[in-house]
Amino acid sequence: MRSIHSGVWRPEDRAESRYRYLPVDVPPGARSLGVSLAYDAGQGVLDLGCLDPDGQFRGWSGGARSEFTITQRWATPGYLPGPVTPGSWRVVLGLHRVPPEGVSWTVTGEAALAVPDAPEVGAVATPARPPSRNLPAPPGLTWLAGDLHSHTVHSDGALTVAQLAVLAAGNGLDFLAVTDHNTVSHHGELTAAGEAGGLVLVPGQEITTDRGHANAYGDIGWVDFRRPANEWLSAVDARGGLLSVNHPLGGDLAWLHPLDERPPLAEVWHSGWWDRTWGAPLAWLLAWGADTVPVGGSDFHSLVQPERPGHPTTWVACEERTVDGVLAGLATGLVAITESPTGPALLHIGDELIAVDADGTLLVDFTGRRRPVRGDRVAFAAGSGPHWLEDHRAQVLALSA
Which residue, of 335, 351, 372, is where some domain finishes?
335
Within a domain: residue 123? Answer: no
Give the pLDDT score at 300: 98
Within a domain: residue 137? Answer: no
CB 377 within 8 A of CB 136: yes
**Is the domain of 229 the same as that of 255?**
yes
Give the pLDDT score at 384: 85
**Is the domain of 163 the same as that of 254?**
yes
**Is the domain of 319 the same as that of 374?**
no
Give the pLDDT score at 264: 95
Give the pLDDT score at 289: 87
- Write the pLDDT tens digit of every residue in 311-365: 999 999 999 999 999 999 999 999 999 999 999 999 999 999 999 999 999 999 9
Give the pLDDT score at 373: 98
The CA distance from 9 to 15, in Å, is: 11
Which residue, of 281, 314, 335, is where some domain finishes?
335
Burial of 154 (0-12, 13-18, 19+ CB in 10 A): buried
- Write the pLDDT tens digit of every residue in 117-132: 888 777 677 778 898 8
**Is the domain of 46 the same as that of 153?**
no
**Is the domain of 188 the same as that of 312?**
yes
Give the pLDDT score at 128: 80
The CATH number of residue 19's host domain is: 2.60.120.380
The CA distance from 203 to 150, in Å, is: 11
Q: What is the pTM of this model?
A: 0.96
Within a domain: residue 122? Answer: no
Within a domain: residue 284? Answer: yes
Give the pLDDT score at 119: 81
**Is the domain of 97 the same as that of 149?**
no
Partners of 379 in beta bridges: 354
The CA distance from 79 to 60, in Å, is: 6
Give the pLDDT score at 115: 85
Domain of residue 34 covers 2-112
**Is the domain of 13 the same as that of 56?**
yes
**Which portions of the chain are predicted below pLDDT 70?**
123
The CA distance from 332 to 344, in Å, is: 22
Give the pLDDT score at 116: 85
**Is the domain of 244 the same as that of 358?**
no
Within a domain: residue 131? Answer: no
Within a domain: residue 248? Answer: yes
**Is the domain of 188 the same as that of 331?**
yes
DSSP class of residue 251?
G
Burial of 256 (0-12, 13-18, 19+ CB in 10 A): exposed
